[in-house]
Amino acid sequence: MAVNYGSKRIVVGAHYGLRDWLAQRVTAALMAVFTLILLAHLILSKGPIGYDLWAGIFTTQWMKALTFVIIVALLYHVWVGMRDIWMDYIKPVGTRLTLQVFSIIWLVGCAGWSIQVLWRV
């Protein structure tokens, strides 16, 4: 194992943000593919787009599972993005922490609501 003490100690604990950087790109790619799937559903359909067609997209269990994954991906993606914004523009530690906590509450609340809606269909 590499030496991680004394003068060789890694002085940052955040992995230089590589994990979040990668996660943001992976989740972005997932959401882009999901957008294509939704678009395909709507474009390849026949007739006017009404309630039956729209709600029908989300009735199958695999589509529910996929949408659930996308909601979680979105949650993480937005967290990384909003944290970047707060870290760049908000310097006072207390205000930044407050905004970060607000972001988490906002996102987890939104995720819970959307998951509930998803399984209501």
Partner 1 sequence: MSSTLPPSRPKRPEFRNINALTDLPSYRLPVAGIVSILHRVSGALMFLLMPFIIWMFDTSISSEISFAKFSSAFTVGLGFVPGWFMKLIALALIWAFLHHLIAGLRHLWMDMRHAVSKEFGKSSAIFTLTLSVGLTLVLGAKLFGLY
Q: Which residues bind partner 1 (CB under 8 A)?
A: 25, 28-29, 32, 35, 50-51, 54-55, 58, 78, 81-82, 85, 103, 106-107, 110, 113-114, 117, 120-121
Q: How far is the CB of 51 from partner 1 (least distance, A)?
A: 4
Q: Least distance in Å: CB of 94 to partner 1?
A: 19
Please tell me the distance from the alpha carbon of residue 106 to that of residue 46, in angstroms, as a whole number. Answer: 38
Query: Measured between alpha carbons, how far is 35 from 24 in angstroms, rounded to an integer?
Result: 16
> In the complex with partner 1, which residue's Cβ is closer, 54 or 68?
54
DSSP string, 98-121: HHHHHHHHHHHHHHHHHHHHHTT-
Of 10 and 98, CB closest to partner 1: 98
**Other C-beta atoms within 10 Å of 67: how many?**
21
Q: Does residue 86 contact residue 100 with C-beta atoms inside 8 Å? A: yes
Return the number of the residue (10 or 29) whose C-beta is nearest partner 1: 29
Least CB distance to partner 1 at residue 43 (A): 14
Q: How far is the CB of 109 from partner 1 (least distance, A)?
A: 8
Q: Which of 17, 34, 37 lies closest to 80, judged by CA?
A: 17
| Nearer to partner 1 among residue 10 and residue 49 (C-beta) | 49
CA distance between the termini of the chain? 51
